[in-house]
Amino acid sequence: MLKFALEKLRDQYDFIIIDCSPSLGLITVNSLTAADSVIIPVQCEYYALEGLGKLLNTIKIVQGRLNTELAIEGILLTMYDTRLRLANQVVEEVKMHFQEIVFDTVIHRNTTLGEAPSYGESIIMHDASSKGSINYLNFAREILQKNDMTNMTNEDKSNIFSDEL
C-alpha cells in the first residue's frame, strides 16, 4: 500500500523521507519495502551498535525477499558528545567496520535539538545558528552532493559549514 502511495509522489519530489520509529516492526519493514534507499541513524551509545546489527539483518532480508533494489544510502552518527569516551569509541567502531558508507557529517548532542520539537519547530526554524542546525544543514549538503544534485565546486563542498568532530 505504501509503495503505491509513493509512486504518485515520485514525480513531484526529489526526495521523500519516511521517518520510522527505532523498532523493527511492520511499519519499518513496509517502509524498507517501499524505499529506494535507507539512511541508518546510529546514536553514539553502546546499545546502538547492537541495534545496528539487527537493522542490517532486517535490511538484508528485505533486500533478498521484498525489495531487491533497496540500497543503504549511508550511516549517520547522531547524539555525539565529544566529552564521552564511549561516544568516541562508537564513532571509531562504526567508521572502522563500515568505512565508506558512514557519512562525514556527525550530529552532535545539544540542548537546542531537544528543545525544537517542544516548540513544534524544526531545528532550523527554532535556531538556525545552533550546532544542531549546522549539523543538519551539513548533512543535507552531503546528501545532495552524494546524489550529484549540487553545482558546487570541490573547494566549496568542503568549506560551506564548519563541522569538526
* Cα torsion angle, 140, 88, 80, 39, sign: positive
Cell 528485505 locates to 62
What mean pLDDT value characterizes the chain? 89
Cell 526529489 locates to 14
Judge whether 80 and 87 are in contact, CB under 8 Å. yes
**Complete domains list, the chain, with CATH:** 1-109 (3.40.50.300), 111-151 (no CATH)
What's at 147, amino acid-wise?
A: N
Which tens digit of pLDDT belongs to each residue from 92-127? 999 999 999 999 999 999 999 989 999 999 999 999
Which tens digit of pLDDT belongs to each residue from 6-59? 888 888 898 999 999 888 889 999 999 999 999 999 999 988 988 899 999 999
pLDDT at 69: 96
User: Could you tell me the three cell numbers for 12?
Assistant: 513531484
| Confidence label for 67 from pLDDT (cuts 50, 70 and 90) | very high
pLDDT at 156: 61
pLDDT at 30: 93
CA distances from 36 to 6, 73, 114, 121, 148 (A): 11, 9, 29, 28, 16
Cell 550511516 locates to 75
pLDDT at 21: 84
Taking alpha carbons only, the member of 138, 50, 54, 46 closest to residue 91 is 46
